[in-house]
Amino acid sequence: MGYESAILYEASRRGYSYAVIEDAKFEHTRTLGQGYNFYEFGASMRTLGYHPLSVLARFLRCFMMGEEIGRKGALYIIWTFSPEDGGYDRMFDQSLRNYVRAKQSLKFGRFKRALSKLMILSPYRNDLTKNI
């Protein structure tokens, strides 16, 4: 549970840096999503302490766009993220789970600030607030 994400989050939490090599070539031994429909994505996200808004955003992107894991996989995300505990919540140290949640909360804060800046700079802002 958590796959490579746990390693990357733990490295980041401990102050290590890492690089993502975009040009690395690899082949899956079976078609991505074939036969398991990403059934444990939601459980993995719960295990790592993902913020519910992150899970919802990923669900919406996958469900609406049909990309990456498809609509069925998106539904599995929501289903397996649900609070029913199968022991997943205790697989990683609570400090790692808290770190993941805090890191995602920071991203939401930056997104919210950027969105509010856009509203301030929007030429339609005065029209929207004129009657308030």
pLDDT digits (tens, 9 = 90+) for 86-123: 556 667 888 999 999 999 988 888 888 877 777 665 55
Please report which confidence band the pLDDT of residue 38 belongs to, taking 50, 70 and 90 as the band edges. low
pTM (predicted TM-score): 0.67
Distance, CA of 26 to CA of 66 (rounded, Å): 24
- Centre a 10 Å sphere on the Cβ of residue 19 and count the other Cβ atoms it contains: 5
Tokens linked to 86: 């199968």
**pLDDT digit string, tens, across residues 60-85:** 988 898 777 788 888 888 888 876 65
Q: What does R_g of the chain's alpha carbons equal in angstroms?
A: 18
Please report which confidence band the pLDDT of residue 5 belongs to, taking 50, 70 and 90 as the band edges. confident
Distance, CA of 38 to CA of 68 (rounded, Å): 10
Residue 82 per-residue DSSP state: S
- DSSP H helix total and E strand total for the chain: 6, 0
